[in-house]
Structure 1
Amino acid sequence: MIFITYAVIGWLWESVFCSFKAKHFVYRGFLLGPYCPVYGFGVVAVLLLIPKEYGTLLNLYFNIVVIVTIVEYVTSWLLEKFFNMQLWDYSKVPLNIHGRVAVPVSVFWGIGCLFLVQVIQPRVEEMIQYFGQLTNGWLPIILFVAFSMDVLSTLLFIVTTKKEVEAVVDTSDSENAAVKEYRLKHIFINVEESVSRKRLLTNLSTIKPQLKHRNLRRIVSNYPNFKVKK
């Protein structure tokens, strides 16, 4: 529950911040749901790894900075190596390491997590206990099942379809989340089909159907606003 709570809070923070910066709505994260797992993992790691007897607030702060920096670096590396995704890039930030982490960013996360541990977390624990009692203990199970289904469906999409979708979808935007956004928002938008989209559907109908082709055909058919590179 702590993991999913802060994953949702992290998604809200990033979506609002990045949307304001880009001047249009940006749906952050690589999963379909409104959560960014790196925040959940980061907070859980901080809560589990900080010493029980941390001494002064300064000692607590430095412990937090080290933990969140390691979590952010490892998460960035895993996303790039296994999912070919780069959801953030600090290469233009001073004192960065491979663009995955940077000292100014770690300092900022350290301050945020210090406030979180001292002020926010006790309130979150009270909220979790309240909703746990209100739902008779079913809420964690429901959220776990929903999150697991999202992860499995995303992995299946990446394995069977993502490369073919990226070959025809313009993913040049800096957010590197166009594929996920197409999976969501175009369900709710109806516009006239483009010639290139019709051509793609025609080509798909002429090849021997495989799982990845069925997924691609489903995506193109369901998302009328699907844009295709020339």
Structure 2
Amino acid sequence: RIKRIVLIDDVSESLQKAADTMGEGLTGWVLKHLEKAYSGLDRKELVKVRREEKLHRDAEAGKPEIFARGCSFYKLAWLFFLGSLLGDIVETIFCYFTMGELMSRSSLVYGPFSIVWGMGCVLLTVILYQYRERSDSFIFLFGTFLGGAYEYICSVLAELVFGTMFWDYSGIPFNLGGRINLLYCFFWGIAAVVWMKFLYPRLSALIERIPVKPGKWLTWIMVVFMCFNMLISSLALYRYNQRQTDSSAETNAYTEFIDTHFPDERMERIYPKAKPAK
């Protein structure tokens, strides 16, 4: 038995040496042909770079796993959730101080979540992530145009899908069809700077401190909850608009359920500024 073990060790060692020899030979062959193809290349420099890359990969492999590293799906899911929550709170406070009225600014029937802000955070992160080291003025201009286009598209989609207008800027100067206005586009630019330079780095660091396994479970729980919330909200909004515009619409078990759980009074509290599109 001992002889067999020794034999296996010898064979393994021989195979490893053969693999190393073949690897070195293959590397040498590649470098030789690269030198011929590109006369300016320094073989020693290529070997050095290759070794540094290998050391970097080995160092990365040895690091403990970090939850939601970089601009990953898990990071974006958390940013969507937190952005929806924080955006709703900020907008509610803003409306209170500017209009003197405390009103719901939520996009969903369950919880204080603004989908526009959540998707805005994700959009800003995905598009501006590669430019996060650029100047504040660059991010401001980029965010101004991006935010204006995004808000306009959201307004059009809401009207097409739900037949409802959630905001109308017709009374504000320099508006475009009441869907966007220049002042609020500038707000988007400011929000982009604040987000990329201050909020995103801090939120990103906090998210990455979440333990990996619980973080993944929590992420999928949030995803399922938000998908369910958006589905129910869409059905409730569609039915609410139907009640406002077509009183003779046919009723069934589905409409009775929606009418019972989401009557006009409740919908008006959640969406005080919503009105049927003209």
Give the TM-score normalised by structure 2: 0.58
Equivalent residue in structure 2 for 1:41, among 95, 119, 128:
119
Amino acid at match of 1:86: M
SS at match of 2:164: coil
1:62 paired with 2:141, answer: yes
1:29 paired with 2:72, answer: no
Amino acid at match of 1:35: F
Residues 23, 95 of structure 1: CA spacing in aligned structure 2 closer, same or farther, 3 A cutoff? Answer: closer
Which is bigger in relative contact order (C-alpha 8 A, separation at least 6)? 2
CA contact (8 A) 1:28 1:36 kept: yes
Equivalent residue in structure 1 for 2:96, among 2, 6, 19:
19
1:108-152, Cα deviation, whole Å (9 max, x unpaired): 221122021011110010121233548342111111111111111
Counterparts of 1:140 and 1:208, CA distance in 2: 37
Give the TM-score normalised by structure 1: 0.69
1:159-199, Cα deviation, whole Å (9 max, x unpaired): 4454226779xxxxxxxxxxxxxxxxxxxxxxxxxxxxxxx
Equivalent residue in structure 2 for 1:6, among 80, 83, 86:
83
Residues 108, 216 of structure 1: CA spacing in aligned structure 2 closer, same or farther, 3 A cutoff? Answer: closer
Shift of 1:66: 1.2
Q: Which runs of 5+ in 2 are unaligned?
A: 1-77, 270-278
After superposing the two structures, state which structure 1 stretch, 125-134 or 64-73, moved more: 125-134
Show the counterpart of 1:213.
256
RMSD over aligned CA atoms reads: 2.9
Q: Give aligned pairs, total.
A: 185
SS at match of 2:165: coil
Counterparts of 2:181 and 2:253, CA distance in 1: 43
Residues 68, 161 of structure 1: CA spacing in aligned structure 2 closer, same or farther, 3 A cutoff? Answer: closer
Greater percentage in helix = 2
Shift of 1:19: 3.4
Show the counterpart of 1:84.
163
SS at match of 1:89: coil
1:78-125, Cα deviation, whole Å (9 max, x unpaired): 112211222222212221111111111111221122021011110010
Residues 97, 159 of structure 1: CA spacing in aligned structure 2 closer, same or farther, 3 A cutoff? Answer: closer
Counterparts of 1:159 and 1:103, CA distance in 2: 30
SS at match of 2:210: helix
Counterparts of 2:107 and 2:134, CA distance in 1: 38
Shift of 1:208: 7.7
Shift of 1:24: 4.1
1:13-55, Cα deviation, whole Å (9 max, x unpaired): 1122223444443111231121111111112212222373574
Percent identity reads: 22
